[in-house]
Structure formats: C-alpha cells, structure tokens
Amino acid sequence: MSTYVSKEIRAELDAARIATLKKASRLRVQMGDNTYKILKLWKDGFTVEAETTPRLRGLVDIYDGANLLYQCLIIADQDEGGEMRYEFKRSTAAHDKAPLDFYRAPDAPIALLGYED
C-alpha cells in the first residue's frame, strides 16, 4: 500500500484542518488595528493561517475574546502545512490591576468606615 498523497488532496486536507482550528479557537493576535485568528497557542509561540495573514513582526497583543492575555515580541519561525509559526522573544502577561509598590497584608481592611456623631 502506498502512502503517497497528491498535492491537491494534501492542500484540501490542510484547508479542512485549518478551518476546524479556526472555528474552535477564540484566541486572536492584534497588530496595530488588524486582528488575526490564532490556530494554536503554546508557552513559546503560536500559529496563524499562512494564506490569509500577512507576515507579523514586532510587538503584538494576544487576546482571548475581549480579554488581553499577553503583550509579546515575536519573530517568524516557519511555514508548515498552511500554518505560519511564530516564536516569542518576550511574552508579558497582562494584569487587570496595577502592581503595588508596597506590601499589603492579607488580612488588611479594604476600606475604613467613618464614624458620625
């Protein structure tokens, strides 16, 4: 039995795989005003569809729906099977609060209540 697959069939299989990944993913990468769907995300990088996404480079933001997850500095790695792979040079997690510049005790009161006579 031969394992040879023609170029046309391989292209159709890659397109079907990418369509499935795009439908399942809520993640997106934003560069400037443009956003692109992320197909896969892992600790050191991510992939996007190579055909519809221009070459990304530099500082990007990664979102899960409307929530900012990371601000990343990226470089292009390789194009494989219709997916463009990017690696993180730097990845900083986004926080919903500003960092404190002092120690807050875990049992400290949240606010002080005033007393009126």
% pLDDT > 70, the chain: 97
pTM of the model: 0.69
What is the distance between the terminal CA atoms of the chain, rounded to a whole angstrom?
Answer: 93
Mean confidence (pLDDT) of the chain = 85
Domains of the chain, CATH where assigned: 26-93 (2.40.10.430)
Which are the contacts of 98, defined by CB distance < 8 A and separation ≥ 6? none
Tell me how far apart the alpha carbons of residues 32 and 63 are, in angstroms, rounded to a whole number.
Answer: 13
Pairing of strands 83-93, 34-42: unpaired
Half-sphere exposure in the Cβ direction for 56 (13 Å, CA): 37
| Residue predicted with more confidence, 101 or 85 | 85
Tell me how far apart the alpha carbons of residues 15 and 54 are, in angstroms, rounded to a whole number.
Answer: 17
Query: Tens of pLDDT along 38-78?
Result: 988 999 999 998 888 899 989 999 999 889 999 999 998 88
- pLDDT reported for residue 75: 92
